[in-house]
Amino acid sequence: MDNLNIKKVGVVGCGLMGSGIAEVVAAAGYDVVVLEADSELLDKGNKLIDGSLAMSVRRGKMTEADITASKGRIKYTLNMADFRDCDLVIEAVTENMELKKKIFNELDQACKDGAILATNTSCLSIIDIASVTGRMDRVLGLHFFNPVPAMKLLEIVRTIATGEATLETAKAFGQSIGKTVVIAPDIPGFIVNRLLMPFFLEAIRLVESGQASKEDIDRAVMLGLNHPMGPLKLADFVGLDTACFISEAMYKEMSDTRFAPPVLLKKMVAARRYGRKTKRGFYDYG
Ligand code: 3HC
């Protein structure tokens, strides 16, 4: 660990992204405090982390001793006051601006003055989230990708108010947890989702129009572009509810019809065909 400014990291929310973030940060040697809204969610998050760590042993990426050490560095809590000595807190709750603003307001009061506050939002305006704090220079986006332990990229999203020192600390932190960092602007979709969303949506429009099958679209992208998954498989993997939310948020912000969710996507979300998480999306996972 070569980043001297950060020793202890708080993670708010221990769902799919929060648990992955807590896992990689603890594996890199940091002390981690994980906060959830209730004990059931905390327990679920704990199980997600333990399950993923166990998988790393099966994949030959970690030893039993590494796992024991990682687990020992993670503390689970329901009390935000346990963030008082964290140097960095990463929020990874659901994509809801009001909820994020409420959490950032509370974090601003619970965390020490020098602490950096980061959000893992995939599409919401980070300066809007930062605006409820009294430390806008120490707020930024740390956008991780799913599955967090496997994906090498970390988008560091700098707002117009993010300070230079905060940015430098975030870069060093990202590298210290084994990620390659890119600096992205605080615009809808940052870099990756700005490119990924039109790609998803165009693939869905192609299915909707009946001009190509989902299998052929995915096969074409996998073999023609060397992507590990085609866009429809990947949309199922990300979650069609999430993809639809990001698309709507980007369309609302930019009034650009390229980002508007296709009717088919909205209908699938209404039918709770969210993809892998509900076992049905463009494909069946039953
Ligand atoms: N945890 C840890 N490591 C994992 C993992 C997991 N859950 N799943 C896969 N891996 C690792 C494996 O250990 C393996 O590593 P190695 O090559 O060093 O041995 C590598 O990933 C490949 O794994 P497998 O061979 O077991 O499985 P696949 O080849 O099927 O890969 C995948 C699975 C990594 C998910 C691959 O299909 C992939 O990269 N898909 C695309 C994922 C992607 O694009 N994610 C970004 C989504 S967009 C996003 O998150 C942004 C949000 O804002 C919308």
Q: What is the pLDDT of residues 38-57, one digit of tens each?
A: 999 999 999 999 999 999 99
Indicate whether residue 147 lines ligand 1 (CB < 6 A). Answer: yes
Domains 8-185 and 193-277 share a fold: no
* Whether residue 143 lies in the annotated active site: yes
Annotated domain spans of the chain: 8-185, 193-277
Nearest residue by C-alpha to atom 19 in ligand 1: 59
Examine the pLDDT at 27 and tell me if it is beyond 70. yes
| pLDDT over 70 percentage in the chain | 99
- Selecting among 120, 122, 125, 247, the annotated active-site residue is 122
Contact status, residue 122 vs residue 242, Cβ threshold 8 Å: yes
Examine the pLDDT at 2 and tell me if it is beyond 60. no
Q: What is the pLDDT of residues 176-201, one digit of tens each?
A: 999 999 999 999 999 999 999 999 99
| pLDDT over 90 percentage in the chain | 98
* Whether residue 208 lies in the annotated active site: no
Cis peptide leading into residue 188 (ω within 30°): no
Q: What is the pLDDT of residues 144-153, one digit of tens each?
A: 999 999 999 9
Phi-psi region of 164 (alpha: psi -120 to 50; beta: other; left: phi over 0): alpha
- Class of 193-277 in CATH: mainly alpha
Nearest residue by C-alpha to atom 42 in ligand 1: 146
Indicate whether residue 149 lines ligand 1 (CB < 6 A). Answer: yes
The DSSP result for 171-192, as a single string, is: HHHHHHTT-EEEEEESSTTTTH
Q: Which residues contact 20 (CB under 8 A, 6 or more apart)?
A: 52, 144, 146, 147, 148, 149
Indicate whether residue 228 lines ligand 1 (CB < 6 A). Answer: yes
Nearest residue by C-alpha to atom 53 in ligand 1: 122
Q: What is the pLDDT of residues 210-234, one digit of tens each?
A: 999 999 999 999 999 999 999 999 9
Q: Which residues contact 209 (CB under 8 A, 6 or more apart)?
A: none
Contact status, residue 115 vs residue 133, Cβ threshold 8 Å: no
pLDDT band of 5, cuts 50, 70, 90: confident
Q: Average of pLDDT values for 22-48?
A: 98
Examine the pLDDT at 35 and tell me if it is beyond 70. yes
Q: How far, in Å, are 87, 128, 232 from residue 132 at the CA level?
A: 19, 8, 37
Give strand ranges (E) for the chain. 8-12, 31-35, 74-77, 88-91, 116-119, 139-143, 153-158, 180-185
Contact status, residue 196 vs residue 155, Cβ threshold 8 Å: no
- Selecting among 19, 56, 143, 247, the annotated active-site residue is 143
**Cα 239–Cα 245–Cα 248 angle in degrees, nearest 5:** 140
Spatial distance between the Cα atoms of 39 and 6, rounded to a whole number of angstroms:
28
Q: How far is the CA of 257 from the centre of ligand 1 (A)?
A: 31
pLDDT band of 252, cuts 50, 70, 90: very high
* Whether residue 105 lies in the annotated active site: no
Nearest residue by C-alpha to atom 51 in ligand 1: 145
Q: Mutate which of 59, 122, 153, 218 to test ligand 1's pocket (most atoms within 8 Å of Cβ)?
A: 59
Q: How far is the CA of 280 from the centre of ligand 1 (A)?
A: 20
CATH entry, 8-185, from 1.10.1040.10, 3.40.50.300, 3.40.50.720, 3.20.20.70 = 3.40.50.720
Q: What is the pLDDT of residues 88-132, one digit of tens each?
A: 999 999 999 999 999 999 999 999 999 999 999 999 999 999 999
Instruction: Give the amino acid at 47.
Output: K
Q: Average of pLDDT values for 160-174?
A: 98
Q: What is the pLDDT of residues 257-268, one digit of tens each?
A: 999 999 999 999
Structure tokens at 71: 């687990």
Q: How far is the CA of 229 from the centre of ligand 1 (A)?
A: 10
Examine the pLDDT at 4 and tell me if it is beyond 90. no
What's the predicted TM-score (pTM) here? Answer: 0.96
Indicate whether residue 146 lines ligand 1 (CB < 6 A). Answer: yes
